[in-house]
Amino acid sequence: MGAAESTLSSSQWPADEITTVSERPETADPVLEKLKSLKIVSVVDPKVLLELFSMYREWEEDNVQKMSKRQEEIENKIDITDALAAKLLQRFNYSVSAMKTSSQHLLEVHSLQVEIGELKGRLTEVISNCDALCRRICVEGPESLRSSIKPFSVCTTGQESNLAQALPICKEIRTEAYPLPKPG
């Protein structure tokens, strides 16, 4: 209630006395606070009371509209959050699936590594036997084979070229020592 209304009220009814309190909390309803702060000594003018109630109704309608708008905004944010959560869950499930597949592949790699290790051991043994055979042929074998046979060492780390040299020699030995039967 403004100063003009206080003056107007007092001029119409000289017996009315209105006092206002200047401090009020910000969270409270301003119209209700004005009503509480008024100290009515006599009857309040119905027009002033009607104006107060209409102001209160307008204030409440504004608050309802603001709350509706906030609620709508919150609902929109919840919808967006739900959609993002669904996408994140989908991506998470895809990642889990990919990790399971990778894990299976790694398990298979381990078994392949074991198998390769076994084959490498067998190959080393075969090359060692071949080398021993070549040395034996060089020492004890017929003269025609001694000139074409050169012993080689079993491959060790960094000596892969020895293996590459050994394979053609072994093939040569096999074809000379054990010729394949001719079809016919």
Report domain extents, the chain: 3-44, 83-177
Q: Concatenate the DSSP letters of all residues of 130-163 into one string.
A: HHHHHHHHHHHS-HHHHTT----PPP-TT-HHHH
How many helices (H) does the chain have, and how many strands (E)?
5, 0
The pLDDT of residue 46 is 85
pTM over 0.75: no
Confidence grade of residue 20 (pLDDT, cut at 50, 70, 90): low
Mean confidence (pLDDT) of the chain: 75
CA gap 110, 171 in Å, rounded: 33
Percent of the chain with pLDDT over 70: 63
Percent of the chain with pLDDT over 90: 34
**Angle CA(34)–CA(38)–CA(40) in degrees, nearest 5?**
145
Task: Convert the pLDDT of each residue in 142-160 to its tens digit.
Answer: 887 777 777 665 334 444 4
Confidence grade of residue 31 (pLDDT, cut at 50, 70, 90): confident
Is 60 exceeded by the pLDDT of residue 28? yes
The pLDDT of residue 34 is 74
Please provide the distance, in angstroms rounded to a whole number, between the alpha carbons at the two ends of the chain.
127
Task: Convert the pLDDT of each residue in 60-80 to its tens digit.
Answer: 999 999 999 999 999 999 999
Distances, alpha carbon 100 to alpha carbons 53, 92, 109, 110, 114, in Å: 69, 12, 14, 15, 22
Closest CA to 150 of 164, 166, 163: 166
Q: What share of the chain is helix, strand, coil (3-state, %, to 5)?
A: 75, 0, 25
